[in-house]
Amino acid sequence: MIVATSKKPPRLQNRRTPRWLFDALNALFGPFVLDAFADQRNTLCPRFYTKAQDGTRRPWGDVTFFNPPFAIMGDAVAQAVHEAEAGRARSIGLAPVGCSQDWYHELAIRGTVYVPDFRFNYDTPSGRPTKRADRDSIVLALGGEHENPDWRKGVFRVRRLTIDVR
């Protein structure tokens, strides 16, 4: 199993998805049924897994949205790949640009990597918008029509993602 590591303090690991971004992704890729990494106050879907339930070890099924703490990104993407390979789920997730991470080269390559046309801000865990984006993010899509037929050749499938924020 691939595990991502990070030297960022824990408070920077748990970024909340802004509602406007979730709504835009839901319109493009959804409807999302499961939020694989959430809690009662920040879930964006009808079903969700809490930290205690550990979305990296539970079946996802349906159309799943995931924005895990960055420290467990490798485990989250591994679960999305597992669900896609089993034919149980199509998963769309937010991730930091991870070009130097094992999870990116070994797992994200199996789907489609969408590169947003601008850098967006995450919210704090309490839901407060942040003032500036401190990193670039990608949208990972795994399963179904997002499967990359050339991943075994080492070829990434990368697409530009235009997000309408009107």
Residue 100 parent element (H or E): none
Question: Running DSSP on this structure, what letter comes out for residue 157?
Answer: E
Q: What is the pLDDT along the chain (166 residues), one digit of tens a residue?
A: 444 444 444 445 567 899 999 999 999 999 999 999 998 888 999 999 999 999 999 999 889 999 999 899 999 999 999 999 999 999 999 999 988 999 999 999 999 999 999 888 888 777 777 777 777 899 999 999 999 999 999 999 999 999 887 6
Please tell me the class of the 10-161 domain. alpha beta
DSSP state letter for 86? T
Place of tokens 């669900």: 83
Q: Of the candidates 135, 145, 140, 144, which has an alpha carbon nearest to the alpha carbon of residue 156? A: 140
Q: Specify the pTM.
A: 0.87
